[in-house]
C-alpha cells in the first residue's frame, strides 16, 4: 500500500473566519488509517472548529478535506461516527432501546452483541438512561458513535469529568477500537490521555498548528529536560534569574530546566523551602506550556 493510499483523511489549507476571530488559519495535516490523531489546544485555539469543519457541520472559507483521497460525499456520512462533548441521552428509553434506535438510523450497522461487549454495557443493558452513572453514560455515547461500524471515529473530549478509573476504562475501549484498524480523531484536555492513546498529536493555538508529530518525537525535540515542582508559597521575586522557565500554576510553581543540578543549587542558595518538592521528566503538559505559554485547561 502506498503512503498516499494509507491516508484516510487529508486536511489541506483549511481556514474559517467568524466575526472578530479567525478560528482556523490555513492548517494542513493527514491521518493514517488505523491510527489515533490527537488535536490539542487551549479553549479558543480552534480545535473544535477544525473538527466541525472536517465533520461537515461548517463549510470552510477556503481549503479542502479529502476522505480516502476524494471529496466527502454520502459515503463519508455513512462511514464516520461522532461522539460530541455534550450530548443528552433520549429519556424514558433503556440502554438497549437507545442502541437499537441509533443502529436503525444507518444502512450499515455494527453487530449489536459486539457493540455491547466492546463498550462493556452488559450490566446496564436493560437500565433506564436516567439511572446510569457518568462513566456508563460515556460508554453508551461511545457505543452510539460506533452504531454504524464507522471507519473514522471523532471523540470530542470523551473523558472530561470522569474519575480516573472510568477514564482508564474508556482508554482501554479506544485501544481496542484502534486494534480493529479503525481511525480515531481525539480532542482532549488530558495530556496523559493524549500520550497514551495518540500516534500523532497536533498542538493548536490561535487557529494554527504550532507543532505536530508523535508524542515521543515532540518531547525529544522540544522537552528533553526536567521539571521541578515546588508546592510551597513562594514569592516569584525570589526566583528571579533561575536557570529555567518558570510557570505559576494555581498553588504550585513549575520550573522547566535543562540543568536540574544548577537549578536545585540555586534554590538552596536562595533558602527556598523545598519540602514537598518533586522532580520529573518532562511530559506533554510541559511541552504544551512551553509552546503556548498557557495551561491546556485555560
Could you tell me where in the chain the CATH 3.30.70 domains are found? 225-281
Cβ count near 109 (within 10 Å)? 15
pLDDT of residue 59: 94
Q: How far apart are CA 199 and CA 70, in angstroms?
A: 24
pLDDT of residue 74: 84
pLDDT at 23 over 80: yes
pTM for the structure as a whole: 0.85
Measure the CA angle with vertex 229, ends 225 and 231; round to 5°. Answer: 175
User: What DSSP element (H or E) covers 197?
Assistant: helix 191-197
pLDDT of residue 240: 84
The CATH T-level fold of domain 225-281 is Alpha-Beta Plaits (3.30.70)
Q: How far apart are CA 228 and CA 257, in angstroms?
A: 8
Q: Which of 53-67, 97-111, 238-252 has the lowest mean pLDDT?
A: 238-252
pLDDT of residue 145: 93
Taking residues 132-159, report their average pLDDT: 91
Residue 285: all three cell numbers together: 503538559
Could you tell me where in the chain the CATH 3.40.50.300 domains are found? 3-219
Give the residue with greater pLDDT, 256 vs 235.
256
pLDDT at 297 over 60: no
Contact 35, 8 (CB under 8 A): no
Phi then psi for residue 252, to 5 deg, are -140, 165
If you ran DSSP here, which 8-state letter would residue 127 be given?
S
Phi then psi for residue 100, to 5 deg, are -65, -40
pLDDT at 80 over 50: yes
Give the residue with greater pLDDT, 161 vs 10.
10
CATH class given for the domain over 3-219? alpha beta
If you ran DSSP here, which 8-state letter would residue 94 be given?
B
pLDDT of residue 245: 86
Gyration radius (Cα) of the chain, Å: 22
Among 45, 15, 28, 42, residue whose Cα is nearest residue 207: 45
What's the pLDDT band for 295 if we cut at 50, 70, 90? low
Sequence-distant (≥ 6) Cβ neighbours of residue 243 within 8 angstroms: 257, 259, 262, 263, 266
Measure the CA angle with vertex 201, ends 35 and 39; round to 5°. Answer: 100
Taking residues 149-177, report their average pLDDT: 89
pLDDT of residue 171: 92
Among 21, 9, 11, 8, residue whose Cα is nearest residue 63: 11
Looking from the CA of 62 toward its CB, the CA atoms found within 13 Å total 8
Contact 31, 186 (CB under 8 A): no
Taking residues 141-164, report their average pLDDT: 90
Percent of the chain at pLDDT > 90 equals 55
Cα distances (angstroms) measured from residue 221 to each of 128, 203, 207, 288: 49, 14, 22, 13
What's the pLDDT band for 209 if we cut at 50, 70, 90? very high
Contact 9, 153 (CB under 8 A): no
37-67 per-residue burial string, b: 16 or more CB within 10 A, e: under 16: bbbbbbebbbbbbbbbbbbeebebeebebbb
Q: How far apart are CA 17 and CA 172, in angstroms?
A: 37
Q: How far apart are CA 135 and CA 62, in angstroms?
A: 39
pLDDT at 296 over 70: no
Amino acid at each position: 500500500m502506498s503512503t498516499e493510499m494509507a491516508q484516510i483523511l487529508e486536511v489541506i489549507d483549511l481556514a474559517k473566519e467568524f466575526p472578530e476571530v479567525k478560528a482556523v488559519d490555513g492548517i494542513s495535516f493527514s491521518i493514517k488509517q488505523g491510527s489515533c490523531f490527537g488535536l490539542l489546544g487551549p479553549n479558543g485555539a480552534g480545535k473544535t472548529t477544525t473538527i466541525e469543519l472536517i465533520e461537515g457541520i461548517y463549510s470552510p472559507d477556503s481549503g479542502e478535506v479529502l476522505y480516502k483521497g476524494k471529496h466527502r460525499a454520502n459515503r463519508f456520512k455513512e462511514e464516520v461516527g461522532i461522539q460530541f462533548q455534550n450530548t443528552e441521552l433520549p429519556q424514558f428509553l433503556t440502554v438497549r432501546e437507545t442502541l437499537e434506535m441509533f443502529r436503525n438510523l444507518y444502512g450499515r450497522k455494527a453487530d449489536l452483541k459486539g457493540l455491547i461487549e466492546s463498550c462493556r454495557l452488559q450490566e446496564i443493558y436493560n437500565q433506564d438512561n436516567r439511572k446510569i452513572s457518568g462513566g456508563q453514560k460515556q460508554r453508551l455515547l461511545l457505543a452510539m458513535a460506533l452504531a454504524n461500524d464507522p471507519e473514522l471515529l471523532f471523540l470530542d473530549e470523551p473523558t472530561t469529568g470522569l474519575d480516573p478509573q472510568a477514564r482508564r476504562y474508556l482508554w482501554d475501549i479506544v485501544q481496542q477500537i484502534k486494534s480493529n484498524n479503525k481511525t480515531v480523531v481525539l480532542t482532549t484536555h488530558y495530556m496523559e490521555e493524549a500520550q497514551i492513546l495518540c500516534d500523532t498529536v497536533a498542538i493548536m493555538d490561535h487557529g494554527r498548528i504550532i507543532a505536530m508529530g508523535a508524542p515521543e518525537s515532540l518531547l525529544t525535540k522540544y522537552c528533553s529536560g526536567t521539571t521541578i515542582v515546588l508546592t510551597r508559597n513562594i514569592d516569584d521575586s525570589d526566583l528571579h534569574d533561575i536557570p529555567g522557565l518558570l510557570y505559576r500554576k494555581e498553588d504550585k510553581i513549575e520550573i522547566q530546566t535543562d540543568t536540574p543540578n544548577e537549578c536545585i543549587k540555586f534554590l538552596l542558595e536562595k533558602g527556598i523551602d523545598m519540602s514537598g518538592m518533586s522532580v520529573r521528566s518532562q511530559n506533554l503538559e510541559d511541552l504544551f506550556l512551553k509552546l503556548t505559554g498557557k495551561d491546556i485547561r485555560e
